[in-house]
C-alpha cells in the first residue's frame, strides 16, 4: 500500500488522490478565513450583488476589455524591445535596456500616477481608458520583453546554422525554425503574464477608470459592506485568472519537446 | 567530383585560421584529419558555403562557390551537411526534420516528402522512431536522422563535421557503419574526423590539415602506411601511442 500522502517516484499523483487532497486543502483554507471572519465578528452579506448586478457586469467587461487591449499592445511593445536589447545599434540597445529596468524596478502604482498626471496631462491624453491601457501595456511590455529575450537567447546557434545548411533562406529560417520555437517556449509564460495583466488592471482604479475594482469600491462606499464586496471582488478575479493559469499549464505540458 | 581550392585563407578577427589552402583533385570520399584547432571545421564550412573565405577561391566541378547570399542559399541546398551535434530542429519529429527541407527547399509535395523521409528512416533502422522528437532519441539515432536529412534531397556531396565526436563508442560504430554503406552505394562525402580507423578503411583519400595549412594529401592506405611529412608522422605517432 502506497502512502496516500505522497506522489509517486515520478512526482505524479493518481487522479482520485489529487482530487481528494486538493479538496482537503481548499476546505482548510476556507475554514481558516471563516474562522478569521468569525473572530473579528463579521457577518458576510452578498445582497448587494443582485442590486448592482448591471454595474458589476459592466465593470467586469471593462476589466476584460482593458486586459485584452493591454495584452495586444504589450506584445507590440515587448517583442521589438526584446529584439532591440540584442541590437548592435548601441542607442537602441541601451534605450530598450533602460526601459525594461525602469519599468521593472518601479511600482505600477507610481507609474500610473506619473504617466497619467504628468506625461498624460502634458501631452493631452485625457481619455482615462486609453491612458490606462497604454500605461498597463508599457508596464507589461517590459515583462514580455524579458520573457521573449530569454527564449531568444536560448535558441542555439547549432540549429540556426543547420537551417542555413539545409538551404533555408533567412525568411524560411524565421518561419520554420525561430518563430515556432519562440512561440512554444514563450506561450506558457505569456499566458501567465496575461493573468498578471488582469490583476494589475485593478490598479487603474486609482485614476478612476471604472473597471471591476473601481466599481466595487464605489459599491462598498454606498453600502459600507467592505468585506462582502472585496471578498466577492477577489472571487471574480479568481474566476478570470484561474482558467488562464490552467491554460498556461496546459501549454506548458503540450510544448515540452525541448527537454 | 572535381574540387579545386586556390589560396583559400580565413581570418577570425585578424587571427589566421587557414593560411592558404591549395588543393586539386577528384573527390569521392575524403577524410580530413589533423590536430584540433588546425582549421578542419573552418575549411569544411567554407566548402559548404556557410562561411566566406577571407581570400582565395573554390571551384566545384569548375563552378565557383558563389559569394552572394542568394547564390549561396541555392549552393547550400545542393549539398548535405551533418554537424557534430546533428543540428536537428528540436521542435520537429524525426520524420519532419527530414521532410520539411524537402518541401520547403526542394519543392516536393507533401506525400512525396513523407514517403522519402519514411523510406530513409526505415533504411537507417529508424522506422520506429519517425514520430519521436530529437530529445527522445539517443545520440546515435539523432545523428542517423541528421544523415537522413542530409542525403534525402540526393545532394552532390555530403559534408560531415566530426559526426561521431559527441557520441559514445557504441553509437560511433552505428554511425560509421551507416556512412560506409552510403559510400558503398556511391555517396560522395568529405568528413572531418578523429576516427583514424574510419579515415583509413572507409575513405579513399585523406587530407592532413595542421596549423592552417594542407600539409599532406593522398590515398588513405598510403598516407597511413607511409606518412611523408614530419608533422603527420608526429600526429600519427601520438595517436598510436594509445591505440590497442
Per-residue pLDDT for A1 more than 50? yes
Per-residue pLDDT for B244 more than 60? no
In chain B, the percentage of residues whose pLDDT exceeds 70 is 99
Q: Do B83 and A165 touch (CB under 8 A)?
A: yes
**Tens digits of per-residue pLDDT, A36-79?**
888 988 888 888 888 898 999 999 999 999 999 999 999 999 99
Indicate the residue of A164, A177, A184 with minimum beta-carbon distance to B50: A164
Spatial distance between the Cα atoms of A188 and B183, rounded to a whole number of angstroms: 46
Given this model, what pLDDT does residue A42 score? 81
- Residues found in chain B: 244
Given this model, what pLDDT does residue A23 score? 93
Spatial distance between the Cα atoms of B187 and B159, rounded to a whole number of angstroms: 11
pLDDT band at A152 (very low <50, low <70, confident <90, very high): confident
**Tens digits of per-residue pLDDT, B155-194?**
999 999 988 887 888 888 888 888 888 888 889 999 999 8
Per-residue pLDDT for A259 more than 60? no
Per-residue pLDDT for A10 more than 90? no
CA distance B128 to chain A (A): 18
Task: Find which of B42, B44, B69, B91 to mutate to test the A interface (most A CBs within 10 Å of its CB).
Answer: B91
Considering only alpha carbons, which residue of chain A is nearest residue B101?
A166
A159 at interface of B, judged by CB pairs closer than 8 A: yes
Per-residue pLDDT for A258 more than 60? no
In chain B, the percentage of residues whose pLDDT exceeds 90 is 71
What is the bridge-based pairing of β-strands B205-210 and B29-33? parallel
pLDDT band at A150 (very low <50, low <70, confident <90, very high): confident
Per-residue pLDDT for B90 more than 60? yes
Cell triple for A137: 501595456
In chain A, the percentage of residues whose pLDDT exceeds 90 is 54
* CA angle in degrees (0–180, nearest 5) for B96-B173-B177: 70
Indicate the residue of B69, B73, B87 with minimum beta-carbon distance to A162: B87
Given this model, what pLDDT does residue A183 score? 87
Residue B195 half-sphere exposure, CB side, CA atoms within 13 Å? 25
Region A153-158 average pLDDT: 83
* CA angle in degrees (0–180, nearest 5) for A148-A188-A67: 85
Least confident of A85-89, B7-11, B102-106: A85-89
Given this model, what pLDDT does residue B134 score? 92
Q: What is the DSSP secondary-structure string of A126-153?
A: --HHHHHHHHHHHHHHHHHHHHHHHHHH
**Tens digits of per-residue pLDDT, A106-141?**
999 999 999 898 888 888 888 888 999 999 999 999
β-strand partners of B4: B24, B59
CA distances from A154 to A1, A89, A181, B145 (A): 43, 21, 10, 23
For B61, the 3-state DSSP assignment is coil
Given this model, what pLDDT does residue A236 score? 93
Per-residue pLDDT for A256 more than 70? no
Domain range list for chain B: 14-78+156-244, 89-154
> With a CB-CB cutoff of 8 Å, which residues 230-259 of chain A face chain B?
257-259
Q: Tell me the CATH number for domain B14-78+156-244.
A: 3.40.50.300
Question: Terminal CA-to-CA distance of chain B, rounded, Å?
Answer: 35
> With a CB-CB cutoff of 8 Å, which residues 179-208 of chain A face chain B?
180-181, 184
Cell triple for B10: 580565413
Amino acid at each position: 500500500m502506497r502512502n496516500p500522502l505522497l506522489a509517486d517516484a515520478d512526482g505524479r499523483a493518481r487522479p482520485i488522490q489529487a482530487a481528494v487532497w486538493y479538496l482537503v486543502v481548499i476546505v482548510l483554507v476556507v475554514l481558516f478565513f471563516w474562522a478569521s471572519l468569525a473572530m473579528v465578528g463579521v457577518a458576510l452579506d452578498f445582497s448587494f450583488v443582485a442590486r448592482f448586478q448591471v454595474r458589476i457586469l459592466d465593470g467586469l467587461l471593462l476589466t476584460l476589455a482593458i486586459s485584452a487591449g493591454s495584452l495586444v499592445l504589450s506584445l507590440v511593445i515587448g517583442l521589438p524591445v526584446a529584439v532591440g536589447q540584442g541590437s548592435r545599434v548601441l542607442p537602441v540597445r541601451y534605450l530598450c535596456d533602460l526601459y525594461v529596468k525602469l519599468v521593472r524596478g518601479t511600482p505600477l502604482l507610481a507609474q500610473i500616477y506619473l504617466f497619467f498626471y504628468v506625461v498624460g496631462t502634458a501631452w493631452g491624453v485625457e481619455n482615462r481608458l486609453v491612458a490606462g491601457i497604454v500605461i498597463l501595456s508599457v508596464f507589461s511590455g517590459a515583462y514580455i520583453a524579458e520573457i521573449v529575450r530569454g527564449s531568444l537567447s536560448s535558441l542555439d546557434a547549432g540549429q540556426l546554422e543547420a537551417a542555413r545548411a539545409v538551404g533555408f533562406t533567412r525568411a524560411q529560417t524565421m518561419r520554420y525554425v525561430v518563430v515556432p520555437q519562440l512561440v512554444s517556449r514563450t506561450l506558457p509564460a505569456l499566458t501567465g503574464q496575461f493573468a498578471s495583466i488582469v490583476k494589475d488592471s485593478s490598479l487603474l482604479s486609482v485614476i478612476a477608470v471604472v473597471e471591476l475594482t473601481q466599481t466595487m469600491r464605489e459599491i462598498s462606499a454606498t453600502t459600507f459592506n467592505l468585506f462582502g464586496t472585496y471578498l466577492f471582488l477577489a472571487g471574480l478575479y479568481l474566476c478570470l485568472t484561474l482558467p488562464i493559469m490552467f491554460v498556461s499549464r496546459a501549454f506548458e505540458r503540450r510544448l515540452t519537446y525541448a527537454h | 567530383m572535381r574540387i579545386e581550392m586556390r589560396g583559400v585563407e580565413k581570418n577570425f578577427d585578424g587571427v589566421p585560421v587557414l593560411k592558404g589552402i591549395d588543393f586539386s583533385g577528384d573527390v569521392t570520399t575524403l577524410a580530413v584529419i589533423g590536430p584540433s584547432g588546425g582549421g578542419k571545421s573552418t575549411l569544411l564550412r567554407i566548402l559548404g558555403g556557410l562561411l566566406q573565405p577571407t581570400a582565395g577561391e573554390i571551384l566545384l566541378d569548375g563552378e565557383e562557390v558563389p559569394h552572394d547570399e542568394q547564390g549561396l542559399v541555392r549552393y547550400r541546398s545542393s549539398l548535405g551537411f551533418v554537424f557534430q551535434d546533428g543540428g536537428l530542429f528540436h521542435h520537429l519529429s524525426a520524420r519532419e526534420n527530414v521532410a520539411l527541407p524537402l518541401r520547403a527547399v526542394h519543392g516536393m509535395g507533401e506525400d512525396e516528402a513523407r514517403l522519402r523521409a519514411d523510406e530513409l528512416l526505415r533504411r537507417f533502422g529508424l522506422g520506429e522512431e519517425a514520430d519521436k522528437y530529437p530529445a527522445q532519441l539517443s545520440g546515435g539515432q539523432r545523428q542517423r536522422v541528421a544523415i537522413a536529412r542530409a542525403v534525402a534531397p540526393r545532394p552532390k556531396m555530403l559534408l560531415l563535421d566530426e559526426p561521431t565526436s559527441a557520441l559514445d563508442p557504441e553509437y560511433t560504430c552505428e554511425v560509421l557503419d551507416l556512412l560506409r554503406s552510403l559510400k558503398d552505394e556511391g555517396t560522395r562525402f568529405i568528413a572531418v574526423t578523429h576516427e583514424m580507423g574510419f579515415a583509413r578503411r572507409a575513405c579513399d583519400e585523406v587530407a592532413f590539415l595542421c596549423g592552417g595549412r594542407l600539409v599532406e594529401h593522398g590515398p588513405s592506405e598510403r598516407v597511413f602506411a607511409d606518412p611523408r611529412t614530419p608533422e603527420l608522422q608526429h600526429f600519427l605517432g601520438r595517436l598510436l601511442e594509445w591505440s590497442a
